[in-house]
Structure 1
C-alpha cells in the first residue's frame, strides 16, 4: 500500500509539472484544456474497452480496443491518439491500474478529458480520478455508489463540466441533485441535464440550511 501511495504522489507531481509546460489554446470545444497543438490527439476516436468482461483494469492491456466507424489512430510507438477512454459495461470494482493503463495506451495521458466508467460494480468513487486534472466529462452512472459524500472527491477537478451518477443508489437520497450541484459548482450538466439557475439556488439554500443545522446538532448531543 505504501508503494502504491508513493507511486500515486509521483504521478500527480509529474502530471502537474507537464501540464504547466503545455501549450495554450482557444479551442471552442475544450476551453479548459490546452489543445492548440494537440487537436488531432484530443479528438481521435474514443479508446473503447466496453463490453470486454474486464474484472480489473490491467486486463484491458491484454485485449485490443474496440473499433468504431472511425479506425483507431496509432503512433509509431503503438500508442493511441486519443484523450477519451470508455470502460463501460464491464465488471470493474476499483480503479487500481488506471495510471498504468492510460500511460501505456494514450500518447498524451495527462490530457485525458473524457472517461466512461458506467455500468460497472463501483461502490465508491476512487480518488485516483482527481489526478486526471484535465478531466471534463465523467460518466459514472449505473454503478453501486450509495453515499452522497463520495461525490465530494470530484470537487477538486477544476475542469469537470459534465457528470452522470444516475442509476446509483445515491440517486434515491433526498436532495441528491442539489447536493451534487452544491458540492461541485463547476458542473454545467448533471445526469445529462443542464444545471439551471434554479438548481444552483436550491443547492445554495440546502448548503446554508445544512451549515445552520450542524452546530445545533452538536449542542444537542453535548
Structure 2
C-alpha cells in the first residue's frame, strides 16, 4: 500500500501516558498494520500532513525498507518501526528531539548496516533493535554504543559503564568489511528464526489481534517489550 496524504490525514490519533506518566500530553498517530511501502518522494509529501503536535508515530508492522524522513517534525519523541523490512538506517532522517526509537524485527543482519546510526540526534536515549540478526553478532552492543554514545537503554536493558568503556575500543566497519565472526553470529540465529516463524504462523488471528490491542494500551517500555516478544513468537 502506498503512502498517501489521505492515509496520514485519516490515521487514528489518541493520547497516551506511556513515556512521561502524564495523561493527555503525548499524541500518538497510528499507521500500523497497513502494509505501507517505502516511496521516498510520496512518503515525504504524505508525512507533511501529520498533525503539528504529534509526539509518537506508530508505523509498526508495515513494509518500510528505510526510515521515513521526519527531520521537520521536532515534536516527535518516539518512533515505532518494529516488524518492517528496514535494512538501511539513516539517523539524519530522524526527528531532532527523538528520545525513543524501536526498530525490532527488521532486516538488520550486519554491523555495517548500523553505521547510519552515527548521524542520530543526540537526544536519542532509548533504542530497541531486538529481533534483528545483527543482535547476535559479537560486540553488537558495544558497536551500537560506539555509534550512539549517548544511549541509556539498548534493547530494553540499561547501558552499563563497562559497556561504554568497551565501546571506546571498537573500530567501526566500512561497507566492504565482512567479518567471519558476524557470519557465525548470524548463522547462530537461524534456528531461533525458524522457531519464531513457526510460532507466529500458528498463532491465531484472534490472538494476534488481542496482543496488538494490549500493545496499544501498554503503559511502560517493559510491557511493550514483553508484548513485542510474544508477537515475535517469544524469540
TM value normalised by structure 1: 0.56
Gapped runs of 5+ residues in structure 1?
1-27, 30-38, 63-76, 104-108, 212-222
Q: How does 1:10-49 map onto structure 2 within 5 Å?
A: 43-49=25-31
Q: 1:142 aligns with which of 105, 111, 114?
A: 105
Report the Cα distance in structure 2 between the residues aligned to 1:175 and 1:159, rounded to whole angstroms.
24
Find the partner of 2:151 among 187, 202, 205: 187
What is the alpha-carbon distance in structure 2 between the residues aligned to residue 95 and residue 182 of structure 1?
Answer: 21
Q: Give the secondary-structure state (helix, strand or coil) at the position aligned to 2:114.
A: helix
- The structural deviation recorded for 1:138 is 0.7
**Structure 1 position 54 matched with structure 2 position 36:** yes
| Whole-angstrom CA distance in 2 between matches of 1:40 and 1:83 | 13
Per-residue CA deviations over 1:142-168 (Å, capped at 9, x if unaligned) read 100122133332233111100011211
CA distance in 2, matches of 1:173, 1:78: 37
* Conservation of the 8 A alpha-carbon contact between 1:143 and 1:167: yes
Q: Which residue of 2 aligns with 1:164?
A: 128
Alpha-carbon distance between aligned partners in 2 of 1:113 and 1:94, rounded to the nearest angstrom: 18
Q: Distance in 2 between matches of 1:44 and 1:147?
A: 34
What is the CA distance between 1:200 and its match in structure 2? 1.5
Distance of aligned partners of 1:44 and 1:51 in 2 relative to their CA distance in 1, 3 Å threshold? same
Structure that is richer in helix per residue:
1
Say how many residue pairs are matched.
148
- Partner of residue 137, structure 2: 173
Q: Does 1:115 align with 2:93?
A: no
Q: 1:116 to 1:181 in 2, by over 3 A?
A: same
Partner of residue 133, structure 1: 96
Structure with greater Cα Rg: 1
Is the CA contact (8 Å cut-off) linking 1:146 and 1:170 kept in structure 2? yes
Alignment partner, residue 10 of structure 2: none
The two structures, once aligned, show a CA RMSD in angstroms of 3.3
Q: Please give the TM-score of this superposition, normalised by the length of structure 2.
A: 0.53
